Amino acid sequence: MTEKRLISKIKNGNSRAYKKLYDENVNSLFRFMMQFSKDKDFVADWVQRAFIKAYNNINSFSGKSKFSTWLFSIAINEMKSDMRKYSSKNILRLDENTENLMAFDQINDFEWKQEMKQLLSDLDENKRLVFILFEIEGYNHNEIAAMLEISVANSRTTLSRTKQILKENWLNNRDGYGKAK
């Protein structure tokens, strides 16, 4: 069943259709959100709240983007809301997670994986979000712009700057290894 048809059924009150949409998106959303916190309880809460908000606001979903784009946007806003709420208490920080970047699980060079995770954790929130959404999750700039409520040009510029920062930081911290390549 196509996403468009599922959405239509959900808007008509079909809870089974929503369960199917949930099942199709929950793992990728959870994996994505794990890149921003070690605390699985926080992540589970963000994911749950995102799905609840998506369900409660399904009639406002226009279908101009994929459902997952809209859902990720909701989850990112939930995360940012918690970051603002807890930042003064220093309970939750985006840079805590350096262990769960699943995109690097296939890489054999353990040292390089750890360095890359550290480089990503050193980025500010927006740069990390754009980089992960584009390079790891595979979203395009139009989708990222919709999720983060920024312009497509801003998404492209942020990605370009982020890649340059990652390259410079990696080369500066490699004790000559990066310069030899």
More confident call, 80 vs 58: 58
Residues 23 and 35 in one domain: yes
- Exposure of 165 in the CB half-sphere (CA atoms within 13 A): 16
Assess whether pLDDT exceeds 70 at residue 99: no
Residues 28 and 53 in one domain: yes
- Exposure of 148 in the CB half-sphere (CA atoms within 13 A): 25
Q: What is the DSSP string of 62-89?
A: -SSS-HHHHHHHHHHHHHHHHHHHHHTT
Task: Work out the mean pLDDT of the chain and round it to a whole number.
Answer: 79
> Where a domain ends, among 51, 71, 99?
99
Q: How confident is the model at residue 171 (pLDDT cuts 50, 70, 90)?
A: confident
Tokens 């979000």 -> residue: 129
Domains held by the chain: number: 2
Q: How confident is the model at residue 139 (pLDDT cuts 50, 70, 90)?
A: confident
Which token pair is 177?
């290894």
- CATH of residue 41's domain is 1.10.1740.10
Residues 112 and 91 in one domain: no
In terms of DSSP H, where are the helices of 88-173? 110-121, 125-131, 141-148, 152-172
- CATH of residue 117's domain is 1.10.10.10
> Where a domain ends, among 49, 76, 99?
99
Chain-centroid distance, C-alpha 17:
24
Main-chain phi, psi angles of 124, to 5 degrees: -75, 165
Residues 92 and 128 in one domain: no
Which token pair is 110?
């353990």
> Where a domain ends, among 70, 99, 128?
99
Main-chain phi, psi angles of 74, to 5 degrees: -65, -45
Q: Which domain holds residue 108?
A: 101-181
Assess whether pLDDT exceeds 70 at residue 102: no
Assess whether pLDDT exceeds 80 at residue 106: no
Residues 44 and 118 in one domain: no
Tens digits of per-residue pLDDT, 11-32? 998 989 999 999 999 999 998 8
Residues 58 and 133 in one domain: no
Residues 114 and 43 in one domain: no
- Give the count of beta carbons closer than 10 Å to the beta carbon of residue 153: 10
Residues 81 and 10 in one domain: yes
